[in-house]
Structure 1
Amino acid sequence: MNVPVPATAPSPGQARVLVVDDDLSMREALASLIGSAGWPVESFASAAELLQRLQTPQDGPACLVLDVRMPGMTGLELQRELAQAGRPLPIVFLTAHGDIPMTVRAIKAGAIEFLPKPFDDEALLGAIAQGLAEAAQAWQAQQDSRALRARYESLTQREREVMHWLLQGLRNKQTADRLGISEVTVKVHRHRMMEKMAAGSLPELIAMLDRLGVPRADPGMSQGPNGG
């Protein structure tokens, strides 16, 4: 049966579902169900196999469908390991031996859902769709942050100096006096700085620096990697 992909999920090719279960028949059943919804699936027999896979660069957002009780590292231990490594993934837990404290612990740690085996197909796919939607949002935010950081790193030393004094409230002429350059030159550097940062206004520039964690009054802001 072809199961429709929930509307909230990223389209096929933009996201993956990672299945971890030590039961081969369960992995195959999950891969078949999830694949019928149009999502690429990668299956693993243990937490160790998944961790090995995650050592390679990721090519998009992913949601983890994870068995709780497995030989070696359990599902809950894997969840904690990923969080401590700074690589949290949206997780849908599956278990035949769940209890309320275990469920509460997993949800508090960020799990999307905690489903009993045997599970309802629609409930599982709905939980995966939610996980993929959250993963896609986090992935896009990460990509945007990297692009913003690259724009900031592209600024010359002089452009950062102009930015520094601009954020202190100095006008172009005052900045020129501070830097020992002409007002026209300040305007040129200011224009290029705003253009490189893709900032349409001063409040927008401030918001960008806040996202990057760059102190607005940090003298180090004026020390860029390039001359200029």
Structure 2
Amino acid sequence: MNQSPQFPPLLTGEVVPKHTDPFDKAVSRAIAGVDSGTIFYSQGEDTLRAALVLAPETPLEEAIQAVYVAQIGLAESLGALAPPEVPVHFQWPDRIKVNGAVCGGVRFAADVSDPKAYPNWLVIGIHVPFTMAGNEPGDNPDKTCLYEEGCVDITPMALLESWSKHTLLWLTYFLDSGFERIHADWRPRCDTLGMQIDYPRPGLFVGLDDKGRMLLREDVMTEAVSLIEFAEHL
């Protein structure tokens, strides 16, 4: 019997039926006007899937940086629950890495795409695999799951609870202090910062600007790439 997770004040949870994607459910309910702070989640044992609905009061170019907040919340949750020797990093814009291999990620959508427009809602989803069906350890060295990395004592619902608490804490920092603290915590956790990358496009990842956009240098040109480009189109 799955025990319902406990969420911190200001956040509420709603479980979705089996075979229903919590992200899709969150988007449909956000369109219908569900309360900000609602987390939709599934109770699968092999993967954590959850999605948080927010109602930003800022333009999209500012609100979208809550994606970084959700990533930091996930990294801190894994840091609190996993063995201390298990490193957690990010790969811009949407991947979570454990021990150097991709182990889930984030996805996000809003009801506007203009950076200056004010969204009615923003949905941020996470997925973290606990097992990899049909794979033997080492079959795909670029991808991993928590159990392969020694995190056998963590359950999806425990990680969900922890993520909700850490994400709420960092949302508070974000609202109180703006981007600077978020960026300062996010940068050291990104293991491709300062490196030549191929994903999501080739170039030298030189940093984030003050709007949270990736600064990508190719030859003598530096391009600012926004998270908004990677939001899911509805």
**TM-score, structure 2 normalization:** 0.28
Specify the structure having the higher radius of gyration (Cα): 1
Higher relative contact order, chain-length normalized (CA < 8 Å, sep 6+) = 2
**TM-score, structure 1 normalization:** 0.29
